[in-house]
Amino acid sequence: MLVISFALACASVQARSTESLLESAGFKSVAANTPERIQVLKTVPPKKVTPVDRNGTLFYVYADPDGCRCLRVGRQEQYDMYQRLQAGKQETTLNRTRTSSNENVLQGFDK
């Protein structure tokens, strides 16, 4: 039970982090309050940025059916920014892990 709770907590934190990055990248939150938007919310994979062609224009859509019941929508420019922000976040996490690992390795040599 504890493992399941931990996994759900991690997924929740990751989703909030993704949503925060999307917002920082300029994605707009659009309420799924029309039949057309509700249909998109139901057909686009949840919690995943997905390209959607709308009348010949490419949009990137992140469906959040459980949280805000909304779509986060951006164009190529916003998606490119999201990818840069995500890469920067991963690099920061990697650097923190390396620093922590290096500190652990050095413990014992400083005595």
In this prediction, residue 63 carries a pLDDT of 97
In this prediction, residue 32 carries a pLDDT of 96
DSSP the chain: -HHHHHHHHHHHHHHHHHHHHHHHHTPEEEE--SHHHHHHHHHSPBTSEEEEEETTEEEEEEEETTTTSEEEEE-HHHHHHHHHHHHHHHHHHHHHHHHHHHHHHHTTT--
- Percent of the chain's residues with pLDDT above 90: 62
For 8-40, write each residue's pLDDT tens digit: 344 444 546 899 999 999 999 999 999 999 999
- pLDDT of residue 65 exceeding 70: yes
Residue 29 vs residue 91, higher pLDDT: 29
For 34-54, write each residue's pLDDT tens digit: 999 999 999 999 999 999 999
The domain spans of the chain are: 23-99
